[in-house]
A and B are shown apart, each in its own frame.
Chain A
Amino acid sequence: MRTSFRLLLGLVLAAPAMSYGQASTLRDGRIAYVMTDLFWSVYQTEDGCEECPRGFNDGPREQFEALFPNHAALDVTRTQLHQEVLTWLPDTEPDGFEFLEAEGPYAYGLNLDGEVSDNDFQHPDGTPGIDNQVYRAVACIIGFRGPDGVEYIFQNKAIIDEPYNRMMIELSDVDDLVNDDAVQVHLYRGRDELLKDATGEGALPGGTQRVDRRWGESLIRHTTGQIVDGVLITEPMPDMVMPWMNLRVPSIQLFRDARFRLDLTPTGARGLLAAYADVDTWYYQLIRNDSTHHLSNGQISGISLYRALRRLADAYPDPETGAPTAISTALDVKMTQVFVLDEPSAPTATAE
């Protein structure tokens, strides 16, 4: 009886600072979220008239027609395989096609290097110094634009559909989900299906995820952060591996100096993941999952895009050549609250 009274008293006293949901999901100073949406952040105006005033890039189908109008006179090695070679063994030589980059001053993202330079964008809220050169490369490719670009749809959908991509963050040492100047942040991969709504499409909060210590130990990261007015801002992680399988090819993105900026609620989190992405890893994650067929549906020429990524790369110069190996980027992230179950190992016996 006394215990129940204390519990009730605690809840009443906590009520001004916590909603009911918060009280139920923030337990022992810990709360966790599982990723449900992730895609390259693209600032879009209607019909792209601000950021892509000259239109959109051609894809493999259009480039093939332009290059080989008389393809019936040339054999496979000089046509189809020629294009596949350039796709799979890309280089930085000009391909003869003009590549349309994003124009205009705005992009979403974060200031990764702490500087404001001519190459940076401005956030639509006025924040200067936004580092997001992936946006400059992909903004005028229709496959990367919402709501119906092929990559926008399927890379994002894979985050919720494929358990391989089931990344989570867990916050610990949380005193207050609105303002807390020091929290611990842990990244894990989960092992389980998501709790879904009646449509089978949307993720619901309150599910449980086992930490993947069977295959995902190498994905575990720790950093610190603070919560300011309900926004989690994490310290950069030197290297973060994001498992990202789209069409069942086990691939990754490799991020350097990765940091989250997330609006937190007791039931979810949404915001940005910003980092420097390894250029080659970025490119091969795309084309290993999506063949030239799939890329064509979004007018994505891997050949042209790789050259743009290399041209726009802005960090981590190669020690020998000095050429940047990484490119600044930002991704839109949505997460749903989950309870994390971290079993140290698989059950050792199940027999009675």
Chain B
Amino acid sequence: MLPQSVTAACLSLLTLGAIAEDLREAWREVPMPAGIQVVLTELEGPVFADASGRTLYQWPQHKLRNGYSGEAPGVPACYDEVVTVTTGLMSPYPAGIPLPELDSRSSCADLWPPVLADEFAEPLGDWSLVERRDGTRQWAYDEQPLYTSVRDQEPGDTFGGSGRKVDGDSPAIRVPVGPPALLPPGFAVKTTSLGRMITTDRNYAVYALDGEGPGNILCRGACLDRWTPLLAPGLAIAQGDWTIVERAPGQRQWAFHGSPVYTHRLDTHPWSQQGSDEAGWRNVFTQHAPAPPQSFTEQATLAGTVLATAEGKTIYVYRCGEDSQDQLACDHPQDSQVYRLAICGGGDAQRCQERWPYVPAVPGTSGTSRSWRPQWIDPMTGRFTSADSPGAAFVWTYRDRPVYTYDLDRQAGDVHGAGIGEWRGKRNGLAAFWLRDDYMQGIE
């Protein structure tokens, strides 16, 4: 374990890199069927996985502007039929438009194999069994049917989906599912770009002050005008990384890794980092996200801090979910590229490279993690390729997808590409890689 002073949630990439290896999120033990295990992931904390280590996902029902998609509890909706037309969830466009590349289009079950149970399986705890149309039985957790993703290649991968916050303008995405985090009542944990952020159960950020510890409470008096100690009930007991310190006789405060925790009264929105601007104070994470490539920088914008290239150009990720009833993703190099090519270059791959260049990696560079690694891309097709393929480009990927810069960002801190694309960039477009947002309420 690193000293607490090093676990600061400051935005130094070097700091992030140093601690990413050391913090691991603890979870609450729950009964699991045979063949199911818990795997610790880089981005999503502990998740359930099958016997091969493949992450399990749910597809929760999600309210979009024009209707619902996803699965109702107990009702599988992901099958092996190929969906051929749009479903009209991309207002203002009507339903019934033929989807692209039908001759090679995958079915939902091709990309999301259901987690099937054998004939002897029995419900266990929050694990239940739902019947599919062909009579097979599928595992469900909290009544939501479970799947694996063909995008995941190694244990701990979560390339199929994310637990990041989404809103009604986003597709109905798949979400990794795992055991409950080992947290005292009144706390929660959320996946962010920096790591798994601890908050109150109302999503307000939790902070710690450098130098504080058991028997050494520094925030008293006027400090309490700005900071609220998170107090523990009289009968609360320590568990795991959580202990209790006594601020005063009979006044008990929760501590994480020995540091008493607080909320910041001036935080204006959930998942805030505003309190970390005050000297010595830091957000608290159960685990930190893997460090971005060493050459990357962070840049201040009008709305917060973004990840950027060495030259200061903002990094963007591409997001895409089809307007189909199965809401298949279209943001991965192995997915159809027609959506991305349309938005980035009007269908012209060369124009895409000029407008939204890939972020090149120095040949020979290795990745810092499964989440951040350079891969070979054919820029004309957008597909992964091999190093010896003509025109292949060695580019940085995040979550197995290339990242980009935007040609019209002229200076460090520009984020003119944020929100470009359908539905403010949420369903077929680009989002800036925010390390801190003070104005989007954690949505980005």
Binding site for B on A (CB under 8 A): 59-61, 64, 71-77, 79-81, 83-85, 88-89, 162-164, 193, 214-216, 218-219, 243, 245, 247-252, 284, 288-293, 296, 346-352
Contact = CB atoms under 8 A, between A and B. Distances in A.
B268 A193 contact: yes
A43 to B, nearest CB: 29
B278 A352 contact: no
A352 B92 contact: no
Given A250-B303, A293-B92, A351-B280, A75 B98 contact: yes
A163 B268 contact: yes
A252 B439 CA distance: 14
Given A193-B268, A250-B432, 9 more contacts: A72-B85, A84-B343, A164-B303, A215-B300, A215-B304, A248-B444, A349-B280, A350-B222, A350-B227
A352 B302 contact: no
Contacts of B90: 80, 293
B213 to A, nearest CB: 13
B346 A89 contact: yes
Contacts of B65: 293
B219 A352 contact: yes
Nearest to B324: A76
B338 A81 contact: yes
Nearest to A348: B279
B214 interface: no
A292 B268 CA distance: 30
Interface of B: 65, 85-86, 90-94, 96-100, 102, 169, 209, 218-223, 226-227, 268, 277-281, 300-304, 323, 338-339, 342-343, 345-347, 413, 415-416, 418-425, 428, 432, 438-441, 443-444
A13 to B, nearest CB: 40
A291 B169 contact: yes
12 contacts: A74-B98, A80-B323, A84-B422, A85-B342, A164-B303, A193-B268, A248-B424, A250-B302, A252-B302, A288-B420, A290-B424, A350-B223
Contacts of A349: 279-280
Contacts of A216: 302
Enumerate the 9 nearest inter-chain pairs by beta-carbon distance, A residue then B residue, closest first. A249-B419, A250-B303, A288-B419, A296-B92, A352-B221, A351-B218, A164-B439, A75-B98, A293-B91
Contacts of B100: 75-77
Contacts of B347: 77, 85
Contacts of A72: 85, 96-98
Contacts of A296: 91-92
Nearest to B437: A250
Contacts of A351: 209, 218-220, 223, 280
A163 B342 CA distance: 34
Contacts of B415: 250
Contact of B419 (A73, A89, A251, A350): A251
A87 to B, nearest CB: 9
A194 to B, nearest CB: 12
Contacts of A243: 302
B322 to A, nearest CB: 9
Contact of A79 (B97, B219, B419, B443): B97
Contacts of A250: 301-303, 415, 418, 432, 439-440
Contact of A76 (B91, B97, B303, B419): B97
Contacts of A60: 92
A80 B86 contact: yes
| Most chain A C-beta atoms within 10 Å of own C-beta, residue among B98, B277, B413 | B98
B268 A352 contact: no
Given A71-B96, A292-B422, A350-B278, A84 B428 contact: yes
B94 A71 contact: yes
Contact of A218 (B223, B302, B343, B422): B302
Nearest to B210: A351
A42 to B, nearest CB: 24
B407 to A, nearest CB: 12
A163 B337 CA distance: 37
Contact of B438 (A89, A215, A284): A215
Nearest to B276: A346
| Most chain B C-beta atoms within 10 Å of own C-beta, residue among A64, A80, A83 | A80
Nearest to A241: B302
Contacts of B420: 88, 284, 288
A72 to B, nearest CB: 5
Nearest to B428: A84
